[in-house]
Every structure is written in structure tokens, then in C-alpha cells.
């Protein structure tokens, strides 16, 4: 019967599609994403951005939290406030591995440009509206270094953190 045969073919095709979607990739659950506050505006003493939108002396240069955990295939949403440049290095990279002498020169300030093991570099913050979100996905387990590539933020302020990516069956 043709109709029966076509439904069998349809079922087999559906099974093949299901096999193609990797089971190790997280698409739901509490660890499917994390949020990192990438630079923060200060409130003490009060700060009025309505009149002075980008006073760099009123911005904290840190990642909050400094470490987040997600499942492989999940994403981290970097909420960027102020002049910052999120840059991510492959699993196992430590802050001391970064060559901060390699830069895109200023003005207004040098941006670290060490391509070794770099897996992501955010959009150039110089011509942009500085406040923005960059959402980045991590398909493979490991501990990834995230730095702010604004030279004094990394070298002087220690603006960096880590993303711990767990396999589908790993728990804490």
C-alpha cells in the first residue's frame, strides 16, 4: 500500500533527523545559559548617566560573577556596560599565557590582540555604542578564559574570568 509505505519512509526520515541532533548539546535546563555582567556602572556616590553617559571613572572593571558554569552547547550572555572588549581563549588558557604586548594601538587605548588560542573576540568597541550584549555559545567541555582586551583593564585591573563548560552528564 503506497500510503503505508510513505508513512514508514517518513518515520525512518524522522529517526535519522533525531540521530543527527547531538544528544550532548544542552538546549534546556538551568545550566543552558549564564549571564555575566561585564563592567558595571557605580552608584555610590550617585552617578547620573542622563547627563554624562560614558564617564569612564565611574565604571567597575570586573566580571560578575567571575566564574560561571554552563552545559556544553549552552551560551553565556555578556552584558557589557561601558568601554570593554570581551575576548575568549580556548580551554586551559590561563591569564599568564596572554601576551599583552600584542595590541591594536590606540587611540583611545590599546586593545590586546593575542590571537594564540583565541576562540572569540567581541566587536570593536571603538566605533560602537559601548553598552551592548554579546551572546557566545560553548559546544565543548572545558574551562575557558574570558578577558577584557582593553589593555589597562586586563593588565592593571585584572579584568578576567572563567566559563566552566560541563558535559551533558556532568554535575558540579
Does the footprint of Cu ion cover residue 112 (CB under 5 A)? no
Does the footprint of Cu ion cover residue 148 (CB under 5 A)? yes
Does the footprint of Cu ion cover residue 36 (CB under 5 A)? no
CB nearer to Cu ion: give 69 or 84.
Answer: 84
Instruction: Give the SS3 label for residue 4.
Output: helix
Q: Which stretch binds Cu ion (CB under 5 A): 18-26, 122-130, 135-143, 154-162?
A: 154-162
CB nearer to Cu ion: give 69 or 153.
Answer: 153
Does the footprint of Cu ion cover residue 150 (CB under 5 A)? yes
N-to-C CA span, the chain: 53
Does the footprint of Cu ion cover residue 84 (CB under 5 A)? yes
Q: Rounded to the nearest 10 degrees, how much is the dihedral formed by the CA atoms of 67, 70, 74, 80?
A: -20
Does the footprint of Cu ion cover residue 71 (CB under 5 A)? no
Using a CB cutoff of 8 Å and minimum separation of 24, what contacts does 91-97 make? 91/140, 91/141, 91/142, 91/143, 91/144, 91/165, 92/142, 92/143, 93/117, 93/144, 93/145, 94/145, 95/145, 95/147, 95/154, 95/158, 95/160, 97/145
CB nearer to Cu ion: give 72 or 159.
Answer: 159
Cα four-point dihedral sign 163, 164, 168, 172: negative
Does the footprint of Cu ion cover residue 88 (CB under 5 A)? no
Report, in Å, the least distance between residue 33 CB and Cu ion. Answer: 22
Q: Which stretch binds Cu ion (CB under 5 A): 26-34, 67-75, 97-105, 149-157?
A: 149-157
Does the footprint of Cu ion cover residue 147 (CB under 5 A)? no
Contact footprint for Cu ion (CB under 5 A):
84, 148, 150, 153, 159
Amino acid at each position: 500500500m503506497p500510503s503505508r509505505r510513505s508513512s514508514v519512509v517518513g518515520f525512518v526520515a524522522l529517526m535519522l533527523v533525531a540521530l543527527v541532533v547531538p544528544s550532548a548539546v544542552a538546549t534546556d535546563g538551568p545550566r543552558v545559559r549564564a549571564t555575566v555582567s561585564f563592567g558595571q556602572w557605580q552608584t555610590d556616590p550617585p552617578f547620573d548617566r542622563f547627563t554624562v553617559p560614558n564617564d569612564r571613572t565611574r565604571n567597575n572593571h570586573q566580571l560578575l560573577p567571575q566564574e560561571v558554569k554552563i552545559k556544553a552547547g549552552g551560551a553565556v550572555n555578556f552584558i557589557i556596560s561601558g568601554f570593554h572588549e570581551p575576548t575568549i581563549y580556548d580551554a586551559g588558557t590561563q591569564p599568564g599565557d596572554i601576551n599583552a604586548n600584542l595590541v591594536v594601538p590606540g587611540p583611545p587605548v590599546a586593545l590586546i590582540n593575542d590571537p594564540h588560542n583565541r576562540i572569540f573576540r567581541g566587536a570593536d568597541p571603538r566605533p560602537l555604542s559601548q553598552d551592548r550584549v554579546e551572546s557566545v555559545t560553548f559546544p565543548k567541555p572545558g574551562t575557558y578564559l574570558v578577558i577584557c582586551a582593553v589593555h589597562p583593564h586586563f593588565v592593571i585591573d585584572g579584568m578576567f574570568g572563567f566559563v566552566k563548560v560541563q558535559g551533558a552528564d556532568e554535575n558540579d
